[in-house]
Amino acid sequence: MGFLRRPGGPAPIGTAAGRHVHGDRTSSGTSRGRAAAVGLAFFVAHVGLVTAHVWAASEGGTRPIPEPPAIFRGHHHPWHPVLDLLRWDAILYGGIAAQGYASPEDPHQPSHLVCWFPGLPLLARGVHAATGWSFQAALVAIGLACTLGFWMALWSSSARDVLGRDTVAATSALVLAWPGSFLWLAGMTEPLVALLSLLVIVWWAQGHFGRAAALLAFASATKQLFTVMALALAFLRWIRSRPHPARLALELLVSTSGLLAFCAYCAHAFGDPLVWVHMMQRNFGKMRPWVVVDVRHYVRHAETLNGGFALGGVVLLLVAAGFLVPALRRERLGILSPGPLSPAGVEVLLWTLAASTTAFFVAVDSRAGSSFFSTFRYQTANVPLFLLAGRGLVRLPPRSRLLLVAALFALWVPLGAKLTAAYWGWRWVA
């Protein structure tokens, strides 16, 4: 694979000798057909790996499907879709698609489901209306389609031009080995968030700000983190080209219009535009943003899966920051140049998005009176962080790179099998 090849001569890491490049971007390289085949191969490997984990978890398909917790039994359909991974939030997304946000007892009062955003349920409703499939089957289809879309988009010529072929290959290995890969097929938002994040990053780096803003309009109705991304991108946009404040405000308005539309719906239906915030506070406690710099809190929960991944994410960002400074000096702050971003500009973009989204995940996941409880799941779809890790990986010597990738597969794949089995058995991964 390309990311295991030693760069030749003065060519930047991520390129092959003899090719015309811009920074670490390959302008010729592998044909589109071959790249699409590689993306499809990673998709097949992804689904096959998760299928093997589920098959092992069910002891070859002979063990009865475990009963869900009592709170979910009223939502659980007797027919079990592909791989039977629809657990926890997937059941709630199916409930939103089927019945909306109103309380069954009083249509003028919100149910607890208002904590979850409408983007994925709207897609499930669309698939249900077009095919007649159940909402569970629709969630399975959306997950598979978005997972395939992510792999094909990652190996597209646009992504390889922006990120570099070696970074794409390294990131692919990291995503495939990641022990949370089963969550992409669990009927929740992970594959949709990953696909939308990747497209926004590539389009923004290419200078297609309007296209990225239009995609964020839908994305901001899918997950709260896209509002954080929209704010971070507006900040970079201001630094890069100093657009007229009215134009920047319009782009930001478009980028967050999905969230604003959901708030408008909440105001119309329940008289409170922020009822989803208030319901989250009531169910999960208030956010503690300062936890991002609370070292004692990290140490206290470092032995847990979610706390350890939260700590690891922040440490990785600090390491990435160490790579960022020399890149900026070498490229003279390429993010300020007109047109598509230079390699240093791409690095600034990824570092900014990874820092903001990781900080948001850590802060939102550690609420008053609780430890980290979903950081591992959220980091599964933290595409900027995976891309940063991929860019860091290709900086290593080829032999060290190969050994590290092999070690990650040896450690992460067995852990992924254990976590899949726990999730299949209705035990939340914590």
Type of residue found at 30 = T
Q: How far, CA to CA in Å, does 145 sit from each of 55, 230, 381? A: 22, 25, 15
23: pLDDT confidence band, cut at 50, 70 and 90?
very low
> What confidence score (pLDDT) does residue 165 get?
92
1 closest CA partner among 11, 14, 12, 20: 14
Mean pLDDT (the chain, rounded): 84
Rounded Cα gap, residues 253 and 257, in angstroms: 6
The tokens for 297 are: 């809190």
Does 322 or 124 have the greater pLDDT score? 124
pLDDT of res. 183: 94
Q: Write down the pLDDT at residue 332.
A: 56
Picking from 20-24, 39-43, 121-125, which range would have the lowest pLDDT averaged per residue? 20-24
pLDDT recorded at residue 405: 94
Of 255, 228, 265, the residue nearest 117 (C-alpha): 265
Distance CA 25, CA 13 (A): 9
Over 60: is that where the pLDDT of 138 sits?
A: yes
Torsions phi, psi for 102 (to 5 deg): -70, 150
| Residue 25 predicted with pLDDT over 50 | no
CB 298 within 8 A of CB 311: yes
Closest CA to 50 of 413, 360, 426: 413
Domain boundaries, the chain: 32-62+81-424
**Percent of the chain at pLDDT above 90?**
47
Q: How confident is the model at residue 80 (pLDDT cuts 50, 70, 90)?
A: low
Closest CA to 162 of 17, 27, 338: 27
Residue 198, pLDDT above cutoff 90: yes
The per-residue pLDDT for 20 is: 36
Q: Has residue 26 got a pLDDT over 50?
A: no
CA angle 46, 52, 58 (to 5 degrees): 135
Question: Region 20-49: what's the mean pLDDT?
Answer: 74
DSSP tally for the chain: helices H, then strands E: 19, 2
- 384 against 372, higher pLDDT: 384
For residue 1, pLDDT over 50 is answered with: no
Confidence of residue 73 (pLDDT cuts 50, 70, 90): low
| Mean pLDDT, rounded, for 378-392 | 92
Given a cut of 80, whether residue 387 has pLDDT beyond it is yes
Contacts 24+ apart (CB under 8 A), 302-305: 304/371, 304/372, 304/430, 305/376, 305/429, 305/430
| Rounded (10°) CA dihedral 39, 203, 173, 164 | 100
pLDDT over threshold 60, residue 339: yes
Which band of pLDDT confidence, cut at 50, 70 and 90, is reported for residue 186?
very high
Q: Which of 60-64, 338-342, 381-385 has the lowest mean pLDDT?
A: 60-64
362 vs 77: CA distance, rounded Å? 33
pLDDT greater than 90 at residue 346: no
Q: In angstroms, what CA-CA distances link 185 with 125, 147, 191, 229, 268?
A: 18, 8, 8, 24, 34
Average pLDDT over residues 237-256: 84
Residue 203 has a pLDDT of: 95
The pLDDT tens digits for 81-109 are 778 898 899 989 999 999 899 988 888 89
Going by pLDDT thresholds of 50, 70 and 90, the confidence category of residue 268 is very high
Q: Tell me what percent of the residues of the chain surpass a pLDDT of 70.
A: 84
Q: How confident is the model at residue 4 (pLDDT cuts 50, 70, 90)?
A: very low
Token pair of 196 as six digits = 């939308």
Contact 127, 142 (CB under 8 A): yes
Q: Which residues contact 49 (CB under 8 A, 6 or more apart)?
A: 176, 181, 413, 416
